């Protein structure tokens, strides 16, 4: 039976090359920065994600729109219904939507890396639990042999 279990374990290790022996496993902390690339476009994507996803940009754009709404009517360069403002706000929408998708893809890559690390840890815990059950079964067998070799007298407790 141990041979069948061992061959099943070996087959699983061949399918999942990232799984190590449970005694050698060290849990990994996977952060988004660990899966970001080093190429130029990766660095540009990181910068755009930090810029587009920041509250500073949100506050700046909101503040700018409010000023534009009042100044456009007062100064007279963009009267109600603010056609210039609406045109300027619609222009960057496509690139912002693309940057959101890039950000989601990068978050997905980090999530996948975390899932693999979690799977490795859970697999190691599972293998340790199986080893522990084998040890406990062996201890039960030894106890049974000891009970057979040294039976308890029938009148004594225990």
Tell me, yes or no, whether 7 lies in a domain: no
Cis peptide before 81 (omega within 30 of 0): yes
- Higher local confidence (pLDDT), 45 or 155: 45
| Range(s) of the domain holding residue 46 | 29-149
Query: Interior CA angle at 147 toward 144 and 151, to 5°?
Result: 155
- First and final C-alpha spacing in the chain: 34
**pTM of the model as a whole:** 0.57
Residue 19 lies in a domain: no
Indicate whether 17 belongs to any domain.
Answer: no
24 belongs to a structural domain: no
Q: How many domains does the chain have?
A: 1
Any domain includes 140: yes
**Per-residue pLDDT averaged across 18-42, rounded?**
78
Confidence of residue 12 (pLDDT cuts 50, 70, 90): very low
Instruction: Determine, yes or no, domain membership for 97.
Output: yes
Question: What percentage of the chain reaches a pLDDT higher than 90?
Answer: 25
- Domain-located, residue 76: yes
> CB under 8 Å to 52, separation ≥6 — which residues?
96, 99, 100, 103
């Amino acid at each position: 039976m141990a041979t069948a279990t061992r061959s099943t374990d070996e087959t699983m290790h061949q399918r999942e090359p990232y799984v190590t022996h449970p005694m050698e496993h060290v849990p990994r902390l996977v952060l988004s920065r660990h899966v970001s690339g080093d190429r130029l476009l990766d660095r540009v994507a990181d910068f755009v994600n930090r810029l587009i996803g920041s509250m500073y940009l949100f506050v700046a754009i909101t503040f700018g729109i409010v000023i534009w709404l009042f100044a456009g009517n007062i100064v007279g360069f963009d009267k109600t219904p603010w056609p210039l403002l609406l045109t300027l706000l619609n222009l960057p929408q496509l690139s912002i939507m693309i940057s959101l998708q890039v950000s989601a893809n990068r978050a997905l890559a980090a999530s996948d890396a975390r899932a693999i690390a979690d799977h490795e840890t859970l697999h190691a815990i599972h293998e340790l639990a199986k080893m522990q059950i084998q040890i406990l079964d062996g201890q039960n067998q030894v106890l049974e042999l000891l009970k057979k070799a040294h039976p308890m007298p029938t009148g004594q407790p225990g």
